[in-house]
Amino acid sequence: MTTARLVQHRTTPTRPTSALPPLTATLPSPELAALRIAYSDIATIVASIEEEDSWLPTRCTGWVVRDLLVHLLGDVQRALVALATPAAGPPDRDAVTWWTAAEPIDDPNFRELRSLRTIASAWDLDNLVRTFVETTRAVVTLAGRTPPEALVATQGHVLQVVDLVTTLAVKAAVHHLDLVLELRRPGPRPEPLALVRCTLDALLGHPAPADWPDERWALLGTGRVPPGGGERRALGTAAARLPLLG
């Protein structure tokens, strides 16, 4: 689902030092460009951290940086499998309705937290970062070679590749915000944040106030921060529906 379609839906050893190659004009869609940027920026951040940084907390309750990176790697691996899993139609989810059916972005119970920490602790940080970088490259490359309207299967649902790519970019942008809580690194760039905004607006049913920065709306709409008094008044009764996605 393109950004325009989202709006329409709304109204009706050596660690890598760089992540992905520079953007080129061969990318078929703004959604894929946003995903490439999102994965590249996260990869650049994690390639720059030291072992002690990997144990810093994130915005995901109970998760440290390496926990979140393992979680993101799992999602990237799922994407790689999805892109190699053609499906018969019709699609039953798109870039917006995916979030009404999917599990929250992060809502782990204690058992899941313990399992994730065990796995994350076993990874050597250099190998974890390298695997993340290589897998995100593979996802972006394969997505770029697949028609946006092609149907793929993932987590029991069928959706177009462009919608899959959009959900991946949204999730990566939100988790980028989680990742940098104490790392003192830049937040997401405008392209993936714009997809987060469009998705949240579509889930809300109307646009959030235009003067809300994309990053602030992303944090509010996903429950990362509570709305202030003015924000709550601007949302009206819709404030009770937050978070719109986990």
The per-residue pLDDT for range 105-152, each reduced to its tens digit, is: 555 566 777 788 888 898 999 999 999 999 999 999 999 999 999 999
Task: Print burial letters for 204-234: b (CB count within 10 Å at least 16), e (below 16).
Answer: beebbeeebebbbbbbbbbbbeebeeebeee
Model confidence at 11, in pLDDT bands (50, 70, 90)?
very low
The pLDDT tens digits of the residues spanning 20-79 come to 444 333 446 999 999 999 999 999 999 999 999 999 999 998 899 999 999 999 999 999
Long-range Cβ contact pairs of 109-116 (< 8 A, separation 24 or more): 113/62, 113/63, 113/67, 116/63, 116/67, 116/70, 116/71
Protein fold of 3-12+27-241: Four Helix Bundle (Hemerythrin (Met), subunit A) (1.20.120)
How large is the average pLDDT for residues 84-109?
Answer: 81
Model confidence at 18, in pLDDT bands (50, 70, 90)?
very low
CA distance readout (Å), 84 to 34, 79, 124, 131, 205? 21, 9, 28, 19, 33
Model confidence at 6, in pLDDT bands (50, 70, 90)?
low
The closest alpha carbon to 94, from 34, 172, 164, 152, belongs to 164
Domain residue extents for the chain: 3-12+27-241
Euclidean distance between CA atoms 229 and 210, whole angstroms: 17
Euclidean distance between CA atoms 141 and 138, whole angstroms: 5
- Supply the pLDDT for residue 26: 42
Model confidence at 7, in pLDDT bands (50, 70, 90)?
very low
Model confidence at 4, in pLDDT bands (50, 70, 90)?
low
